[in-house]
């Protein structure tokens, strides 16, 4: 696993955390209100059970709350997508299909929706993942979840239920 820096989502307050051999890279700057601790705690409780790096849970929860609110999504729903897509919270995870990062974003989305940076950056991944999902959410929740997963066959029909089980 590569060595990366972790900068907590409290950028506006100048807080930062640098860890060695940490799988999470957060380089995006936050110019928005600090997420409230109740929402962050709720999201963190969803992410924590299988996370490989417990120090990364809260900063990623803060990113999820911030980006979900920006895109008018439920942070708990987004956390459950992450719980299914990348329960270990390893930013450099790449799927067999080529999806990368915390929210398993396909490379074709890189640089879209005003989200810049590498896909293995947690801030970029959450920014893109929430933007993609918000765009898909024009349809019903189940259809949006299946679209987000790239589901094109009957094999993956259980994906939506797997995500919503945690709601």
Domain ranges of the chain: 35-164
Say what the pLDDT of residue 1 is.
36
For residue 80 the two structure tokens come to 């459950």
Of residues 136 and 130, which shows the higher confidence score? 130
Q: Give the span between the Cα atoms of 102 and 92, in whole angstroms.
A: 8
**Assigned CATH for 35-164:** 1.10.530.10
pLDDT above 70 (res 98): yes
What predicted TM-score, i.e. pTM, was given to this entire model?
0.67
What pLDDT does 18 receive?
35
Q: How confident is the model at residue 34 (pLDDT cuts 50, 70, 90)?
A: low
**Mean pLDDT, residues 9-33:** 40
Q: Is the pLDDT of residue 82 over 90?
A: yes
- Write b or e for each residue in 81-119: b if 16 or more Cβ atoms lie within 10 A of its Cβ, otherwise e: bbbbbbeebbbbbeeeeebbbbbbbeeebeeeeebebeb
Task: Give the other-Cβ count within 10 Å of 50's Cβ.
Answer: 10
Cα 38 to Cα 32: distance, rounded to the nearest angstrom: 17
């Amino acid at each position: 696993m590569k060595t990366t820096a972790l900068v907590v989502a409290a950028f506006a307050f100048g807080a930062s955390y640098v860890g060695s051999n940490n799988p999470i890279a957060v380089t995006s700057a936050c110019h928005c209100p600090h997420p409230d601790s109740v929402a962050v705690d709720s999201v963190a409780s969803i992410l924590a059970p299988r996370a490989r790096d417990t120090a990364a849970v809260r900063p990623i929860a803060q990113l999820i709350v911030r980006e979900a609110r920006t895109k008018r999504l439920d942070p708990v729903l987004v956390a459950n997508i992450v719980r299914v897509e990348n329960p270990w919270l390893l930013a450099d995870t790449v799927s067999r299909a080529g999806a990368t990062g915390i929210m398993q974003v396909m490379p074709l989305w890189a640089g879209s929706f005003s989200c810049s940076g590498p896909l293995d950056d947690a801030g970029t991944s959450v920014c893109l993942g929430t933007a993609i999902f918000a765009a898909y959410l024009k349809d019903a929740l189940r259809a949006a979840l299946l679209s987000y997963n790239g589901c094109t066959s009957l094999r993956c029909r259980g994906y939506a239920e797997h995500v919503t089980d945690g709601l």
